[in-house]
Amino acid sequence: MLSYLVQSASGTSGPILILILSTYTTFMDPITTLFSIIILVFSVILHEVAHGIVAVRLGDPTPRIQGRITLNPIPHIDLFGSIILPLLLVVTGSGIVLGWAKPVQYNERNLTDKKYGALKVAMAGPLTNIAIAILFGLLSYLALTLGLFTPAFMTIASIVILVNLSLACFNLIPIPPLDGHYLLFAILPASWHQFRETLRRQSFILMIIMVFFLWQLFTPLIFFLYRLLMPGI
């Protein structure tokens, strides 16, 4: 997810919530569940790095200066949000896995594309997760074709695809501060300014409603896409 500050448009805020529905981890053994959390953390890191790369390419050096254009997990990991909280939720059998990485900061004023720059930066994260899911889907089909489709590989590919599809779908929801709200705001006419401000003001409440009451409505879509990408499912 992308961080932002409405008043200063500096692209900075506190850590932002991400959610992966753990319906598909409920019946996993502890080792596989732990492995799924590791995949989640690195998928979020790739998501954030994508934001930073696009911001830098559009003229803002902030992510590079802050050392966020790296796959090294250390600059991205939030100790509580990336490690402690997800583990606690899994151990206690909460039914969901919540967590976050440190958001990538950027200065919207530095972007060369003044009209769609913020939208491009925002969409880089979800599109990266979609690309990862498609890549592992193609690898799965290739492995099946070549007779290399082992149970271990199937487990890894399944988790990677599910996690990244979930991240993409969740982040594309058009509620601030999720990435999808940039797409919504880009297509709304200027006369809807008051609607935008209402969404921003009520974003915390809307996020709570989405996470705890409405997120399950998206699981049929996620598993439909998963079955398209994963052979033999």
Give the pLDDT confidence of 50-82 residue by residue, as tens digits.
Answer: 999 999 999 999 999 999 999 888 888 888 877
Report whether 60 contacts 110 (CB < 8 A): yes
Statement: residue 126 has pLDDT above 80: yes
Averaged pLDDT for residues 199-225:
84
> What is the percentage of the chain residues whose pLDDT exceeds 70?
83
Statement: residue 4 has pLDDT above 60: no
Give the other-Cβ count within 10 Å of 165's Cβ: 26
> What is the percentage of the chain residues whose pLDDT exceeds 90?
30
Could you tell me which residue, 95 or 31, shows the higher pLDDT?
31
Residue 107 CA, chain-centre distance (Å), reads 20
Distance, CA of 18 to CA of 100 (rounded, Å): 6
Give the other-Cβ count within 10 Å of 176's Cβ: 22
Give 40's pLDDT tier (boundaries 50, 70, 90). confident
Averaged pLDDT for residues 205-220:
82
User: Coil, strand, or helix at residue 223?
Assistant: helix
pLDDT tens by residue, 157-206: 999 999 899 889 988 989 888 899 889 988 888 788 788 888 888 888 88
